[in-house]
Structure 1
Amino acid sequence: MERRKFLKGAALGAGATALATPALAQSGKTMTIVSTWPRDFPGLGTSAQRLAARIAQLSDGALNVEYFAAGERVGAFDSFDEVASGNSQAYIAADYYWVGKHPGFAYFTAVPFGMTTTEWNAWIKFKGGQQMWDKLSGEFGLKALPCGATGTQAGGWFNKEVESPDDFKGLKMRIPGLGGNVMSKLGVSTVSLPGGQIYENLVSGAIDATEWVGPYNDYFMKFYEAAKYYYTGGMHEPGGGLALGMNKAWWDSLTEWEQAVITAASHEEHAAQYEESMALNGEYLNKLIDEQGVEVRAFNDDIWDAFGEAATEVFAETRDHSALAAEIDDHFQTNLVEIGKAMALFEGTFVNQRNRVRGLL
């Protein structure tokens, strides 16, 4: 799919929704959404815009949705405080951006060696994960729902090959969340940049490497102009989800029907973004290789072992933060073992054998 066609389609979809019930929309409750993604940003940004439009459409005018991309109302990383204060009603973001507020937020996006998207969905929806999320978010006056997922993310873009744990020492890398803490233990100088600022920092040499999402989302970022080595599945973000974080007082003021509309739209987009990524990652991986000469690599076992040792330290430090952090980690890890074991024995066994027999790798 060409970028221009994609953005045109997304814009038309949002516009059609906005024009559907103009009279009703003016009389409804206002829902101002701020986002951490730039406007018309392929993948993450267009998904957020699609969700905003869908909430307005499903509410049939009961909710007058105003959407602001990163920088249009507040800066990307200011969206948490904007919503917690009540200045806006909701944000769309990756909740691991807020680990400075509380490290427990990482579990509601992704953590090193954690759950895949399928496993995380099971935990959130059917094993009490949403209740843990509510407990944490509630301490900050927020209510969060899953609203997007990208699947297992790439290990990152590097301007040199990394062949041993020592090769990470001295690198400057954009990587947020607990994954960033793991990299720090390997000697990486980590920074957390909004998506719209990564390219300029990579091209200028301010950073040597970055993680982002996966082939579909990454293709449009043009990281290949500064970093030709693209590492497959990383430890830092095996799956999980994005958040529609809402001001809890505002959420509590809604009718049950209005809450149901927002929940339905959020869950719908959560599935749609993941499925879109799965549908397009293969196509755009081929484009990166064939059109841009990107060299695809995988971290070797020595590096994975070093990641694992560092992650063990990071989880211990996270648990030491507070009783709530330990409670969230206990809940997450217990369910990871239970859900992950069944996934490994059935889906894992099948996928590995399918790929072997059919020569997909």
Structure 2
Amino acid sequence: MKRRTLLAQTGLGATALTAAATVKVAAQAPVSSPSQPAIRWRMATAFPKSLDIMFSTIESLCQQVSDMTGGKFVITPYPVGDIAPAAKVLDTVTEGTTECGCTISLYYTDRIPALGFTGGIPFGLNAQQQNAWLFYGGGLEATQKIYRTLGLINYPAGNIGGQMGGWFRREIETVDDLKGLKIRIAGLGGSLLKRLGAEVQILGPDEILPALVAEKIEAVEFLGPYDDEKLGLHKATRYYYSPSWWEPGASNELLINLNQWQTLPQDYQTILQLAATEAHHKLLARYTAANSAALERLLANGVQLKTFSPEFVQATYQAAVAMYEELASQDPQFREVYQPWKAFRSKIHKWNRVNEMGFATFAFNAGN
């Protein structure tokens, strides 16, 4: 009875109901039977425990799976570095060292650029649009096709939402200021900055502050105020920029070894999808609630809030479009995801101009 209640209340909470995947599987979600096997998995993650919202949401995902199977399916998450560094979580799961992992695809776009669409790309979709694309716009099916070639299956497991544009030791006014800039940034945002002359490094969360202190880098793109404060980035840099045009709606993923996935009983598969979907929406809600207060604390500690100039954003937008068109012309896998994604973005932008833009512009400027 307890498992049945959890399936009804936990997997079908208000946040999870917003996703098609949850609605579809929850309506027929089986309850784990006493005869089901006991299974123990390990999960490598790309995140340290110090990022408490991120890591506790992953722990909650794993706890949901245990609760809904009566303790028979147990997944133990490990912080970054315990099993693998951030950039190697995918390999760990592909090779079967662990059965699953929680990471963000931005660490792997140097190998497969099309994976950037799940993690977030420059001038891409915001959080709500990203969820619409993944669950209702064919995004999950398109990216699962790519991951299957790697022996994996993926599910969204944490929408991070709107972020910040990063930390800089000197002011950024034009794209020329990017030339020679030593910056930590992953994904296609990193590829774009390389094209604009920056010296890009891909570092895991646990590696960023030491690199800043040692002056191996002079700028950092990471997440939002809450996690950036947790990492102590304000202690080593001065200027905090917005907006985050390189990842407007980033999402984490649950990666599962395909062979291990196929050995799971069907109800275990359903339960794991339910737990991942709830974690996906819960993470967005938690960050949305926490980032405002964290930004206020940072500003009170002397951080200087800056905004990228319209000229800078326009120049980087044009460079991003050129990069995507070039990738689409050269990489069939990228083109297969990009063309329908671009059409989806065009349609949803038309709708959001009507239903959101006018009100948001007024509300944000109206004050309290």
How does the TM-score come out when normalised to structure 2? 0.87
Q: Residue 161 of structure 2 aligns to a residue in which SS?
A: coil
Moved more, 43-52 or 109-118: 43-52
Q: Is the 8 A contact 2:62 2:74 kept in 1?
A: no
Moved more, 61-70 or 303-312: 61-70
Q: Residue 173 of structure 2 aligns to a residue in which SS?
A: coil
Q: Which residue of 1 aligns with 2:367?
A: 359
Q: Is the 8 A contact 1:33 1:90 kept in 2?
A: yes
Taking structure 1 as reference, are residues 297 and 45 closer, same or farther at Cα in structure 2, changes over 3 Å only?
A: same
Q: Is the 8 A contact 1:157 1:223 kept in 2?
A: yes
The partner residue of 2:336 within 322, 327, 333 is: 327
Q: Which residue of 2 aligns with 1:6?
A: none
Q: Which residue of 2 aligns with 1:20?
A: none
Q: Is the 8 A contact 1:27 1:61 kept in 2?
A: no
Moved more, 64-73 or 117-126: 64-73
Supply the distance in 2 between the matched residues of 1:99 and 1:309 (Cα, whole angstroms): 20
Is 2:138 aligned against 1:128?
Answer: yes
CA-to-aligned-CA distance 1:181-217 (integer Å, 9 cap, x gap): 1111221111100011000111111101001111111
The partner residue of 2:306 within 297, 311, 330 is: 297
Q: Is the 8 A contact 2:110 2:187 kept in 1?
A: no
Supply the distance in 2 between the matched residues of 1:274 and 1:163 (Cα, whole angstroms): 31
Supply the distance in 1 between the matched residues of 2:190 and 2:51 (Cα, whole angstroms): 24
Q: Which amino acid aligns with 2:281?
A: A
Between the aligned residues of both structures, percent identity stands at: 27
Supply the distance in 1 between the matched residues of 2:49 and 2:291 (Cα, whole angstroms): 21
CA-to-aligned-CA distance 1:228-278 (integer Å, 9 cap, x gap): 100122210000311001011111222221111011100111111100010
Q: Which residue of 1 aligns with 2:92?
A: 82
Give the count of matched residue pairs: 334
1:41 Cα shift?
Answer: 2.3
Q: Residue 156 of structure 2 aligns to a residue in which SS?
A: strand
Q: Residue 120 of structure 2 aligns to a residue in which SS?
A: coil
Is 2:334 aligned against 1:344?
Answer: no
The partner residue of 2:66 within 34, 56, 74 is: 56
Q: Which residue of 2 aligns with 1:8?
A: none
Q: Which residue of 2 aligns with 1:13?
A: none
Q: Residue 249 of structure 1 aligns to a residue in which SS?
A: helix
The partner residue of 1:148 within 158, 169, 180 is: 158
For residues 1-361 of structure 1, the aligned pairs below 5 Å read 28-290=38-300, 292-356=301-365, 358-359=366-367
Q: Is the 8 A contact 2:159 2:281 kept in 1?
A: yes
Q: Is the 8 A contact 2:44 2:78 kept in 1?
A: yes
Gaps of 5+ in 2: 1-33
C-alpha RMSD of matched pairs (Å): 1.6
1:321 Cα shift?
Answer: 4.1
Q: Is the 8 A contact 2:50 2:230 kept in 1?
A: no
1:150 Cα shift?
Answer: 1.4
Q: Which amino acid aligns with 2:322?
A: E
Supply the distance in 2 between the matched residues of 1:341 and 1:58 (Cα, whole angstroms): 41
1:40 Cα shift?
Answer: 4.0
Q: Residue 31 of structure 1 aligns to a residue in which SS?
A: strand
Q: Which amino acid aligns with 1:250?
A: Q
- Could you list the structure 1 runs, at least 4 aligned residues long, displaced by more than 6 angstroms after superposition: none
CA-to-aligned-CA distance 1:162-198 (integer Å, 9 cap, x gap): 1122111111000011111111122111110001100
Q: Which amino acid aligns with 2:137?
A: K
Q: Residue 250 of structure 2 aligns to a residue in which SS?
A: coil
Q: Residue 206 of structure 2 aligns to a residue in which SS?
A: helix
How does the TM-score come out when normalised to structure 1? 0.89
Supply the distance in 1 between the matched residues of 2:60 and 2:221 (Cα, whole angstroms): 24
Moved more, 55-64 or 328-337: 55-64
Q: Is the 8 A contact 1:58 1:265 kept in 2?
A: no
